Amino acid sequence: MGARKGFAVWFTGLPGSGKSTLARLTAGKLRRFGVKTVILPSDMLRKYLTPKPSYSEEERKLVYHVLAVTAKLLTEYGINVLIDATGNRRAYREEARKLIEKFAEVYVKCPLYICMEREAKRKITRGAPKGIYERGLKGVSPTVPGLGSPYEEPLKPELILETDKLKPREASNLVAKFIVERFRLRKA
């Protein structure tokens, strides 16, 4: 394996909190700083692992385990990873923390009602399922985090971003600055 290991930063929060937007904007800011990253979205991984997802606990456990192991393998080869995943159980994120040497958790915090409004208005989903809160409220999808399934907030995330109070660019500036400082990165 390579001498310099990469880092992994897990963006966690309710669906619609802004995880994908922040991961994408942060990757762009880091790229301009000379730091290459790969975004690892759970929604895309889930489509490969379970073409007809049920979002059961067993399925989620598998998806988040594969996500954590994939991130670990990438970081072992010096690839920096931004994990874009709700990870509704702390145990999923803690597994990644135990596996990955250079790891940080960013809590993308946003009130449920705002997440629901954003998700309903979302035009581009980038692989995320559309209309999940609406289906959850109707009982069609009983396992939506924040509605039918719990979302366990991080106990000690390295960074908390309240995306109902911050603009996406402001929040991504904070994440990029945090990553540069946390992992002692130098401009390439």
- Say which CATH number the domain at 52 has: 3.40.50.300
Contact 171, 26 (CB under 8 A): no
pLDDT tens digit sequence for 138-178: 888 888 898 889 999 999 999 999 999 999 999 999 999 99
Q: What is the dihedral of CA 23, 27, 29, 33, to 10 degrees?
A: 150
Domain assignment of residue 3, yes or no? no
pLDDT at residue 148, as a whole number: 85
In a domain, residue 1? The reply is no
**pTM for this prediction:** 0.93
pLDDT in tens, 70-79: 999 999 999 9
Length of the chain: 188
For residue 125, what pLDDT is reported? 66
Cα separation, 132 vs 141, in Å, equals 7
Out of 56-60, 61-65, 81-85, least confident range:
56-60
Whole-number percent of the chain with pLDDT over 90: 72
CB atoms under 10 Å from CB of 159, counted, come to: 19
* DSSP annotation string for the chain: --SS---EEEEE-STTSSHHHHHHHHHHHHHHTT--EEEEEHHHHHHHH-SS----HHHHHHHHHHHHHHHHHHHHTT-EEEEE----SHHHHHHHHHH-SSEEEEEEE--HHHHHHHHHH-S--TTPPSSHHHHHHTTSSTT-BTTTB-----SS-SEEEETTTS-HHHHHHHHHHHHHHHTT----
Q: What is the pLDDT of residue 128?
A: 65
Supply the pLDDT for residue 65.
Answer: 98
**Backbone torsions φ then ψ of 163, nearest 5 degrees:** -75, -5
Angle, alpha carbons 21-26-32 (nearest 5°): 135
Domain extent, residue 13, equals: 8-182
User: Model confidence over 14-56: pLDDT tens digits?
Assistant: 999 999 999 999 999 999 999 999 999 998 898 889 888 888 8
d(CA 164, CA 77): 36
User: Is residue 2 included in any domain, yes or no?
Assistant: no
The answer to whether position 72 is within a domain reads yes
**What number is the average pLDDT over the span 127-140?**
78
Total number of domains constituting the chain: 1
Residue 126 lies in a domain: yes
The answer as to whether 188 is a domain residue is no
Note whether residue 22 is domain-resident: yes
